[in-house]
Amino acid sequence: MLESVFPNKELTKEQQTIFDQILLFSKENLANNKKSVFQLNGDAGTGKSVILTKLFLKIEQQSKSEGTDNYFLVNHPELLKVYQENAGHFTELRKNRFLRPTTFINRMNKANKKADIVVIDEAHLLLSESDNYNNFTQQNQLEEIIKLSKVVILVFDERQVLKLKSYWSQTLLDNIIKRQQANYQRATLTTQMRMQAPKKIIHWIDDLTENLKVDSIDQKRLDYLTLKADYDFRIYEDAAKMYQALKEKNLQLGESRIVATADYPSTLDGKKHFVNEGQFHLPWDQYNYSNTTWAQKPETINEIGSIYTVQGFDLQYVAVIIGPSIVYDGAGKIKVNLNAYEDREAFKNRHEDDLDNLDNSKKKIILNSINVLLKRGVKGCFVYFHDSRIYDYLVKSKNI
């Protein structure tokens, strides 16, 4: 799991081309003293973080002779732990250069300083409105970071937006860059690097979460494809049996975990809250106070991870419980029941009046979370639907 964001990982030809493009962009715009933004797009698992970490190592190596002041930001506490831990393996990297966005903004404003190059991983997690709880009093974190930097390099995936208070679209991002009059380039990674899965599986996930279609699965054909690709994809009727199969994979490979959509009650009150599905009964993950990430702790095979626990991480196998917010519509498609979604934090009122349809935005958040969860597994993905009609549809049509 740590290797996916380790700075000395070898790049593919596609990644190397974009790496060189960003490095040249940064060098030229620093020399011209031109406010600039480079946007790196790509689906979950395409290797965006691999480029960023290697890029930041290169920038920090060059800063020794060039005297630049650079920072790496991520608005994800579990990922930040990984970056800070990895920094300890390289003499050129300093842990205090890896920060949460709010920390960077407040620190730079207090010192009345500007950074040279700022790298932002998971920019779709940046706050897009004020949030006093997180000590952010301005209107938009990305805009503030651009104001406080000469060159900004950000990773963005519109399909990983998970909260209204950090709701992003390409249009919103474009408007900010235009308002800041920044020089702008972007590039997109297209090759799936995490999942060792045939394209049929990637298409099945995307069709479910984008087009709400439950595509047919020819299991014999799928077995042949996954055997060649070394990827294990299964849809289970029973969550308990799925969990037992996952535990066997965890014994063999390690770092295999079960996760669920936020359709089951959970409160940060120090008590255990459980997900119940038939004979399956397991608690949600607890708040992780340690420096070790959740999936690296052996005991978390006995917990259920959330989207906030695993976003941005690789697992060997992932088992996904898709809860009551996803229901079968009777005609080979699913629909979203907003009332069944328990993550009230995700739907906290947005003060900015910039969403055309609030319900559609909420549905997109739920579908985004499912897409992210289903794309965590390097070697395999198991799926269970709370609404058994989805499984029944696939069985009756002899599709699994």
Closest by Cα among 362, 378, 383 to 161: 362
What band does 224 get if pLDDT is binned at 50, 70 and 90?
very low
Closest by Cα among 98, 77, 104, 74 to 86: 98
Residue 257 has pLDDT above 50, yes or no: yes
- Amino acid 268: pLDDT: 60
Contacts of 123 (CB under 8 A, 6+ apart): 142, 154, 155, 156, 168
Lowest mean pLDDT among 193-202, 227-236, 353-362: 227-236
Strand-pair partners of 283: 274
Q: Which domains are assigned to the chain?
A: 2-189 (3.40.50.300), 199-396 (no CATH)
Write out the E strands in 181-314.
183-189, 232-236, 257-260, 274-277, 280-283, 304-305
Average pLDDT over residues 153-182: 93
User: What pLDDT, in 10s, does the model give residues 99-147?
Assistant: 999 999 999 999 999 999 999 999 999 999 888 888 899 999 999 999 9
**Whole-number Cα distances in Å, 10 to 6, 7, 13, 51:** 10, 9, 10, 10
The amino acid at 125: L
